[in-house]
Amino acid sequence: MPAKKAKIAVLVSGGGTNLQALIDAQSKGIITSGKIALVISNNPSAYALERAKKAGIKTSVVTKKECGSQEAFEDKMKTTLNENGIDIIVLAGFMSILSENFTSAYPKRIINVHPSLIPSFCGKGFYGLRVHEAALEYGVKVTGATVHFVNEIPDGGEIIMQKAVNIRPDDTPESLQKRVMRLAEWKILPLSVEKVSNEIINKK
């Protein structure tokens, strides 16, 4: 009988390079304790949806606009996640802050990747390229990425893994973003997903 795997849902909004890193880690055997069973996007035109379809993963689009309110949007996502028997929710470039109504339903079951070393350059307003702009503006010499559990405080949950990346004198927000993704995010996100999946299946 094949070993039981944690069922993973990945929530996305854009390009989906972190989703791709998870798909690749699954085919390379870096993720073995979990299986990506669903991708939910809050943006119907996210390229991440194409990546999921190419990999044969079920997709769903849930938008705040269609749902009418934050509460209805979160309730619709909860229904979709519960209908699919999801164990772990991975926020991979998901650009919508989730309220306590959602996060409290999945304690230590939601994980997020953030493109800085938390507690620097995080919280409300710090997302995507803005994080790297802020790091360069401040003049820090080292940045990186953090994977953490998600609770009701934006970027405030328990840290699972971090990886540092040196800043170069000629970095632009774009060059820094690419290097932080390649050297940090695409590595620690799959490793964290494997770690949490493994803990979940061994608890069951």
Give the residue, chosen from 123, 128, 156, 173, that forms a contact with ligand GAR under the rule CB under 6 A: 128
5, 7, 114, 195: the catalytic one is 114
- Say how far apart CA 100 and CA 195 lie, in whole Å: 25
Binding mask 32-61 for ligand GAR (x = CB under 6 A): ----------------x-------------
Q: How far is the CB of 79 from ligand GAR (least distance, A)?
A: 24
- Say how far apart CA 192 and CA 112 lie, in whole Å: 10
User: Which of 14-22, 29-37, 82-90, 162-170 is the region at the interface with ligand GAR (rule: CB under 6 A)?
Assistant: 14-22
* Residue among 75 and 133 whose Cβ is closer to ligand GAR: 133
Binding mask 140-179 for ligand GAR (x = CB under 6 A): ----------------------------------------
| Sheet of strand 110-114: strand arrangement | 59-61, 34-41, 6-12, 88-91, 110-114, 142-149, 159-166
Contact 183, 165 (CB under 8 A): yes
Residue 116: Cβ-neighbour burial (10 angstroms; 0-12, 13-18, 19+)? buried
181 part of the interface to ligand GAR, by CB under 6 A: yes
Long-range Cβ contacts of 55-62 (<8 Å, 24+ apart): 55/23, 57/23, 58/84
- The residues binding ligand GAR (CB under 6 A) are 14-18, 48, 92-93, 113-115, 127-128, 131, 181, 185
